[in-house]
Chain A
Amino acid sequence: MTDDGSPPPDPGVRDAVRQALSVSFATGLYGVSFGALSTVAGLSLAQTAVLSLLMFSGGSQFALVGVVGGGGAPVSAILSASFLGVRNALYGIRLGPLLALHGWRRVLAAHLTIDESTAVATAQSTRRAARAGFWWTGVGVFVLWNAFVLAGALAGDALADPGRWGLDAAAAAAFLGLLWPRLSTREVRLVVLAAGTLALVLVPLAPPGVPVLAAAALAVVISRTPAGRRPAADDAGPGVAA
């Protein structure tokens, strides 16, 4: 396949762009909930905006403000967010050959490598469509997510009592929404059960933030044991939460 020169029109590219825009809008919208939860957890407007621009990974951002809001130590918050970001490295490995980038474009692509951009890129049937899907989704989500996070942060700032508005329950639901599309295999469901139980036991016993890290450690230990069966190749497939 020739990538440069004058390629013929590809109807797949148009479909990829259309998909990218709808995913960007849906994902951007739930940035409102992150922005509100972040300021309620104690981050300032500026901290919320910087976190969103620099970290740019929804799950990790929710994890960080979750631990901070629960009174966790900085180290717990940083580790929770970082562990949750490990899957982005996996996406990058998968996207590398597909995008075949160099220099600053590769660094930019790394920053835009998230669930949504990976999902749209890998769902396309041609390389040109995959690249269009990646960039349109990556840039689209980046712009809309950060804009809506700011809007949510302004709204969250204005809410005096977050519990009264059910924002604490919204945070739990957000994590469940991120987890839901990943429950596809029996092994994942078993690990989820074990991790959830461990966290429940540790909440009254351990300092804030530790139950979440202990659950991650448990998963690392389990993943070192031999699998009962061959893991399916698409186990770590990115989910589009929205």
Chain B
Amino acid sequence: MSDAALWVTVVVASLVSLAIKLVGQYAPEHWASSPRVVRTATLVTAALLAALVVVQTVDGGRSISVDARLPALAVAALALALRAPFLVVVVLAAATAAGLRALGWG
């Protein structure tokens, strides 16, 4: 992406994000109790994050690539299961991938 395209992406996405927040602040109160609204927002958020985990782990540029990211993700999952703080999880994953690559794998 060119520098100009990046700026447009950053500014437009930020303004949309703020607009969405404003919609929430000014929305009629009864929306909050609509199970349909709550359910859609819950499921869309979870689905997006799940897809981002997958893409970030196996994307090899229009192909699936199994490398050091996969064991690193497993370590992150284990750390999360053990209730490690967010930053510790991220650092452990990076260290795992970096370590494996230093050993010549992935």
Contact = CB atoms under 8 A, between A and B. Distances in A.
Question: Max chain B CB contacts within 10 Å: which of A32, A68, A85?
Answer: A85
A12 B12 CA distance: 39
A163 B87 CA distance: 18
- Interface SS of chain A: helix
B6 A88 contact: no
Given A173-B90, A204-B62, A216-B44, 14 more contacts: A42-B1, A55-B13, A64-B13, A77-B13, A86-B45, A92-B25, A93-B29, A113-B21, A177-B80, A179-B53, A192-B49, A220-B44, A222-B43, A223-B39
A166 B48 contact: no
Given A77-B13, A93-B24, A169 B69 contact: yes
A18 interface: no
Question: Max chain B CB contacts within 10 Å: which of A96, A172, A220, A223?
Answer: A172
Interface string B31-71: 11001111111111111111111111111011110001100
B52 A96 contact: no
Nearest to B83: A180
A33 B93 CA distance: 12
Interface size class of B (residues with CB under 8 A): 35 or more
A82 B13 contact: yes
B72 A172 contact: yes
A110 interface: yes
Given A51-B10, A172-B93, A215 B39 contact: no
28 contacts: A47-B10, A60-B17, A63-B52, A66-B56, A68-B9, A77-B9, A86-B20, A89-B41, A90-B32, A93-B27, A96-B26, A96-B29, A165-B94, A170-B94, A173-B76, A173-B92, A173-B93, A177-B90, A196-B54, A199-B50, A199-B51, A200-B64, A203-B59, A215-B48, A216-B47, A219-B43, A231-B35, A236-B45
